């Protein structure tokens, strides 16, 4: 049996109606998991779930919309997962937001709180909600999709980067607390990936080429470039890895490609 086999596992992936989240859901399903597609809009979730079911069989994916900014919505997400698929074995906290671009000294309290709430507090809520299932079953895997922004400062997305750095510590701290329960929690830190979320960094050809030019691999990431790491962390392949951060950025953080 493959170390990457996820047969029988129930995986909840937030922000999975598109981009990195969708790619992760598709790959987990391809490796045998039953997946919950979740984002804010039910119709978008249903479209993705239908595509996965058409490829891997009915019942492989279910669509459950939820806003990460509302604790009650996340509680209902877990409740509906139990009803439709059963206890959670794998949790992928992928959804995030960034409502502000500019200097930190110009951000409003409301904008800063929204970033911290959606990118850090919501992940904490989801982990809390998934832990009882994982403890009862004897183990589980949690993946937080962070960003290489958490490793550096920025004149434009400083608050977002602060939230992503906080995610690294959230992962480390939970890993210390739940390791005794055979529950692993790790983070993935992507570089610039061609998703709607990062569209401003690649849609314009000049911006795309500038970013690619300083990337050692000379290209931007695709959502599927991140999905394999999530499968590794969710499966027995990552059975002894916890509290860590995997950087997947084409080499950007090791040095300029120029």
pLDDT band at 205 (very low <50, low <70, confident <90, very high): confident
Q: Is residue 206 part of a domain?
A: no
**What's the average model confidence in pLDDT over 237-256?**
95
pLDDT of residue 201: 66
**What's the average model confidence in pLDDT over 64-70?**
97
Mean of the per-residue pLDDT values of the chain: 95
User: The domain spanning residue 190 has which CATH number?
Assistant: 3.40.50.720
Higher pLDDT, 70 or 255: 70
Q: Is residue 132 part of a domain?
A: yes
> Can you tell me the distance from the alpha carbon of 258 to that of 244, in angstroms, rounded to the nearest whole number?
29
**What's the average model confidence in pLDDT over 157-166?**
97
pLDDT of residue 76: 98
Provide the domain limits for residue 103: 10-198+225-249
With contact defined as beta carbons under 8 Å apart, do 193 and 225 qualify? yes
Q: Is residue 220 part of a domain?
A: no
pLDDT at 249 over 80: yes
Q: Is 153 left (phi over 0), alpha (psi -120 to 50) or beta?
A: beta
pLDDT at 63 over 80: yes
Q: Which tokens in the block code for residue 32?
A: 């045998």
pLDDT band at 70 (very low <50, low <70, confident <90, very high): very high
Q: Is residue 157 part of a domain?
A: yes
Angle in degrees, 0-180, between the axes of helices 223-234 and 19-30, rounded to the nearest 10: 50
Q: Is residue 257 part of a domain?
A: no
Rounded to two decimals, the pTM is: 0.96
Q: Which residue has the tokens 């209902």?
A: 76
With contact defined as beta carbons under 8 Å apart, do 37 and 61 qualify? yes
Among residues 91, 99, 95, 90, the alpha carbon closest in space to that of 66 is found at 95
Q: How many domains does the chain have?
A: 1
Q: Is residue 255 part of a domain?
A: no
Q: Is residue 229 part of a domain?
A: yes
pLDDT of residue 258: 63
Q: Among 100, 160, 174, 232, which one carries the catalytic annotation?
A: 160
For the chain, helix, strand, coil in percent to 5 are 50, 15, 35
174 is catalytic: no
Q: Is residue 207 part of a domain?
A: no
């Amino acid at each position: 049996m493959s170390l990457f086999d996820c047969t029988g596992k129930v995986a909840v992936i937030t922000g999975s109606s598109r981009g990195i989240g969708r790619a992760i859901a598709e790959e987990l399903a391809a490796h045998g998991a039953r997946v919950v597609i979740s984002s804010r809009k039910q119709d978008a979730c249903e479209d993705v779930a239908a595509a996965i079911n058409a490829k891997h069989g009915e019942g492989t994916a279910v669509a459950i919309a939820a806003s990460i900014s509302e604790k009650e919505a996340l509680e209902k997400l877990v409740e509906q997962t139990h009803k439709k698929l059963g206890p959670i074995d794998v949790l992928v906290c992928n959804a995030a937001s960034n409502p502000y671009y500019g200097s930190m000294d110009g951000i409003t309290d409301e904008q800063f709180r929204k970033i911290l709430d959606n990118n850090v507090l919501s992940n904490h809520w989801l982990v809390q909600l998934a832990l009882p299932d994982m403890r009862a079953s004897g183990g589980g895997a949690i993946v937080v999709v962070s960003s290489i922004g958490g490793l550096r400062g920025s004149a434009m997305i400083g608050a977002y980067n602060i939230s992503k750095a906080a995610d690294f510590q959230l992962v480390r701290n939970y890993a210390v607390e739940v390791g005794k329960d055979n529950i692993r929690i790790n983070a993935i830190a992507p570089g610039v990936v061609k998703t709607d979320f990062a569209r401003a960094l690649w849609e314009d050809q000049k911006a795309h080429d500038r970013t690619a030019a300083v990337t050692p691999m000379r290209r931007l990431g695709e959502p599927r470039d991140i999905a394999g790491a999530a499968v590794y962390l969710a499966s027995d392949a990552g059975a002894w890895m916890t509290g860590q951060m995997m950087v997947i950025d084409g080499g950007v953080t090791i040095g300029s490609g120029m």
